[in-house]
Amino acid sequence: MLTGSNPSSSSEDKLFPQKYTLQIKGRLLTLDKPKIMGILNLTPDSFYESSRVNTLGSILSKSRQMISEGADFLDLGGYSTRPGATDISIQEEIDRVAPAIEIIRYEFPHIPLSVDTFRSKVALEAVNAGATLVNDISAGELDPDMLPTIARLGVPYIAMHMKGNPQNMQSLSDYSDICVEILHYFAEKVDLFTKLGIKDVIIDPGFGFAKTTEQNFFLLKNLRSFEIFGLPLLVGISRKSMIYKTLQSSAAEALNGTTALNMVALMQGANLLRVHDVKEAKETINLYEQLYP
């Protein structure tokens, strides 16, 4: 069931994202303009085949390309979270992400690196290897040690909304009021983060995670609802099924649709775009800023 309404304003300044800061290894990063997070999938089974990098050479090459095209962050994941993805051991996930983080940190010491994991042990090893953010699809739901670990590490934390896990989430898309339920979810999470001393938090509505195509579009239309928390907002819709199923195409053919919806996300207040295609996302932001200088 979809209910609620889209907050709006006639004032042009409502089209600008709010300004936030992140403390990253003692350096203050200002989110005064939309930023780009480039996706590096260190997996053999991520849903978009061209995003997979499985050798140190290809990892460095892809990192160099994304940074040159304008990536502000790189997000490395060693566990595929596509619907129905195969479960792997914690050690296998660590073995995928830790060496990649080390080599990128050595070659590109100034780029903030995010590890995409819901496991506290992976987060710990990744930060020890040089990661500076943790991106958790479960916001601490899948590992009770995750939030205490983040609090101890003192790194920025991306908390996403999801129900269930990657193996069963697509069967858990029933909501009485999707906006109200997700807002309530984040209200409880933000309160918990504050109590634990987790200071730098980014929220992600979780497009495609336990949500139907219709629900994904409804959330995108109502994205400004999440500004109530006063936290930076990450949007990850790059090449997802909400795009290619709507267009009756494929992930490989979903770049144009991704670009179109990334512009919508920016106009709805997104602060970070998590993308496979950095050049096109950077051009989208440039055009957005030309519209609203």
Domains of the chain: 34-291 (3.20.20.20)
How many other C-beta atoms can be found within 10 angstroms of the C-beta atom of residue 74?
A: 27
100, amino acid identity: A
Sign of the C-alpha dihedral, residues 196, 197, 203, 206? negative
126 backbone dihedrals φ, ψ, rounded to 5°: -65, -45
Residue 167: predicted pLDDT? 76
The structure's pTM equals: 0.91
Residue 7: predicted pLDDT? 43
45, amino acid identity: D
How many other C-beta atoms can be found within 10 angstroms of the C-beta atom of residue 287?
A: 12
Catalytic residues: 240, 274
pLDDT tens for the 293 residues of the chain, in order? 565 544 444 344 455 556 799 999 889 999 989 999 999 999 876 555 666 678 889 899 999 999 999 999 999 999 987 766 778 999 999 999 999 999 999 999 999 999 999 999 999 999 999 999 999 999 999 999 999 999 999 999 999 999 888 878 878 889 999 999 999 999 999 999 999 999 999 999 999 999 999 999 999 999 999 999 999 999 999 999 999 999 999 999 999 999 999 999 999 999 999 999 999 999 999 999 999 88
Which are the contacts of 143, defined by CB distance < 8 A and separation ≥ 6?
A: 118, 119, 120
Structural element, H or E, at residue 133: strand 133-136
Residue 1: predicted pLDDT? 55
